[in-house]
Amino acid sequence: MAFVPVYILILGFTIVIDFFAGIYIERTKGPLRKIFLIASLIANISVLAIFKYYNFLNDNLNELLGNLGHATPFPMLKILLPIGLSFHTFQAMSYTIEVYRKNQVAEKHFGIYALYVMFYPQLVAGPIERPQNVLHQFYEKHSFNNKNITDGLKLIAWGLFKKVVIADRLSVIVNTVYNNPKQFEGAPLIFATVLFAFQIYCDFSGYSDIALGTARTIGFRLMTNFNTPYFSKSISEFWKRWHISLSTWFRDYLYIPLGGNRVSKFRWYLNLFITFLISGLWHGANWTYVIWGSLNGIYLIVENSTDSVRIKFYNFIGLHNKKLLISKLSLCSTFMLTCFAWIFFRAKDLHDAYYIISNLTTNFVPSINNLKPGILGSTLYDYLIGFLALSVLLLVEKIQMQISINKWLNHQPMMMRTLIYCALIMCILLFGMFDLEEQFIYFQF
């Protein structure tokens, strides 16, 4: 992943193609409409395929042919992945698809359409917007608004707190373990995996908060991308709360067109699996991402196919009237399944993922000693700050589930609000890990 100035021409190419495709889709009737749509989709997917997947596919083809005694006729390309390619490609495709479905009027102003694709707060890592939500905002007058400024700055500050205080601090332990997993076994592997679950959440949702806050300060409203996902009580609920802009994109443009759940049970499960497999591939050209996506698809298939079995089991063991206990067990099991899947997402390759999974419980009790400060790259100070910061995060999200945190703050006395804002800023300045220069995880996608 890199920013190379000449790669702006790639973005320009797809913008021109999609701009005119949208106009001609709207103007024409019959089969020609679909032809223009397909031409637009091919242009976007081709750019994505060449820069993100060509070397991955070629490498696997080379290995396959090598085992058969042949060599691949295709050379490896020495190219870098343009920053944010997957995000703005999907946003561009949503535009032509919505125009084709007659849910969106084709944009006639080239500059406005280019701005839709290149809107700087969310260009690099989303949220992946829909034209219905954004395009009309570019025509509205945006004057200085004190509430927009304060709301935006609060979101930016909260996003920075999640990124530099929590995510970057946890990354020290996660990187120590996952960069050299074979040096560890048991407790450190589990500990690093759980911390990675919070690292990636705080890293990505932190970016989303900064993006939404930046847009808000200049009067624009972008869609919410995260909604307390680790309080989910099922995998299906988790995916309604995690990376919402991407999960709804796959739902609307892949899952439902495949037939969704309006087909036979087998086909329904196949649709789920295909959607999550491709979702995994969207994240990266590596088998670890493919398995991560496929595993989440399998989770959903099992969840949907065992609904009645689980109800009968709860009745059998006498838990049918203990809803609170079932709720807590569901929350814990969902988090554990999600963490297990994150192993594939974070592992460098399948060999590392296999080692980590195989050794999660190896010498577990003795390995607890390796959690002591200093062994995993963090001091006791880092442990304390990390624990307190995570506690604040979970407390805020617990409040957020009951009432908008913005509304909650507005109901507090001015002195209390001022103290909270100052405390948040001081925490960022005093406890932020600015020297690590850790980029946002999702920049690589």
- Degrees (nearest 5) of the Cα angle 289, 294, 300? 135
Choose among 274, 243, 244: nearest CA to 257: 274
Nearest to 161 by CA among 214, 203, 192: 203
Helix 187-217 and helix 146-160: axis angle, to 10°? 160
Is 283 noted as a catalytic residue in this protein?
Answer: yes
- For the beta carbon of residue 164, count every other beta carbon within 10 angstroms: 22
Active-site annotation holder among 109, 136, 243, 283: 283
Burial of 294 (0-12, 13-18, 19+ CB in 10 A): buried
**DSSP code string of 72-94:** -SSPPP---PBTTHHHHHHHHHH
Residues 6 or more apart in contact with residue 421 via CB below 8 angstroms: 154, 157
Q: What DSSP designation does 252 have?
A: I
Give buried/exposed letters for 121-151 (b at 16+ CB in 10 A, else e): bbbbbbbbbbbeebbebbeeeeeeeeebeeb
Structure letter (DSSP) for residue 51: I
CB atoms within 10 A of CB 63: 10
Most distant CA pair in the chain, distance:
75
Name the 3-class secondary structure at 35.
helix
- CA distances 218 to 137, 207, 353, 407, Å, are 11, 17, 44, 21
Residue 126, CB half-sphere, CA atoms under 13 Å: how many?
Answer: 30
Q: Which residue has the tokens 């930046």?
A: 214
DSSP state of 360: S
Kindly tell me the burial class for residue 61, based on how many C-beta atoms sit within 10 Å of its own C-beta (0-12, 13-18, 19 or more).
middle
Asked whether 178 and 200 are in contact (CB, 8 A), the reply is no
Residue 2 DSSP symbol: B
**Active centre residues (catalytic):** 283
